[in-house]
Amino acid sequence: MSARIFSPAKTAMQSGKAKTGHWVLEFDPAQRKKIDPLMGYTTSGDMLSQIRLTFDTREEAVAYAEKQGLAFRVEEPKETKRRQISYAENFRYDRRIPWTH
């Protein structure tokens, strides 16, 4: 039974950083998912895949995994690269790529 500890990235629907400051522990799937032939639902006999534990810090998540004797891996968050662009940049006359409607 192995687990993955990560800090979730912000969704594409957000402009702010809400719901991104915490760490999540998820268990790796032990079985493949299969499609129910009658209803078409996706099912699995793996109950641990439904568990998602949240922690305030990375250290708390690692301490919990070590206390429970779980094999785990920590995925560090990637830093975002943001460019500062003003709205006036859209209308510059010397743009590399012409802007039209």
Task: List the beta strands (DSSP E) in 1-101.
Answer: 2-6, 23-27, 34-35, 42-43, 52-55, 71-75
| Average pLDDT score over the chain | 85
pTM for the full predicted model: 0.70
- How many CA atoms are closer than 13 Å to the CA of 67, on its beta-carbon side? 6
In tens, the pLDDT along 59-69 reads 999 999 999 99
In tens, the pLDDT along 13-33 reads 767 777 778 999 999 988 888
Identify the structural domains of the chain with CATH numbers, from first to last.
Answer: 1-8+18-31+43-77 (3.30.160.190)
Distance CA 2, CA 74 (A): 11
pLDDT band at 99 (very low <50, low <70, confident <90, very high): low
Q: Does residue 12 register a pLDDT over 80?
A: no
User: ∠ CA(46), CA(74), CA(62), 5° rounding?
Assistant: 85
